[in-house]
Amino acid sequence: MTARSTRDPADDAALLHKAADRLEALATATTPGQWRLGGLLASRPEVVAHGPGGRTEHVAEARARSAAWIGALSPALAGPLAAWLRAAAAGVPLPEAAAVARVLLKRLP
């Protein structure tokens, strides 16, 4: 027998919206653009943000803005994000989940 959840779906929805808002706010305050790995040392790759119009910025130059982003998207996020993608795949298709999956598949080895 499983215990019935006493959590209110409205509370979960508010939590999801809050997390999404904070993620977007963090992205706005971070060095923009498409981040790409480069450099000669595999143990210490360079990360360069490529922005609109060909502008580039070495992420180390914007460390104060970038550190929170890197920390927020640590490996601890992989499990919940993967579970969300699988749930979207198993249930009602979500265009947003598909968009996230497309970006991840382009960038993950």
- pLDDT above 60 (res 98): yes
Distance between CA atoms of 42 and 38, rounded to whole angstroms?
9
- pLDDT above 60 (res 5): no
Distance between CA atoms of 6 and 88, rounded to whole angstroms?
23
Residue 51 pLDDT: 87
Cα angle: 101, vertex 68, 29; to 5 degrees: 85
Residues 35, 16 contacting (CB under 8 angstroms): no
Residue 1 pLDDT: 47
CA-closest candidate to residue 24, choices 61, 63, 59, 72: 72
Residue 93 confidence class, pLDDT cut points 50, 70, 90: confident
Residue 39 confidence class, pLDDT cut points 50, 70, 90: confident
Entry pTM:
0.61
Question: What residues contact residue 79 under an 8 Å CB cut-off, 6+ apart?
Answer: none
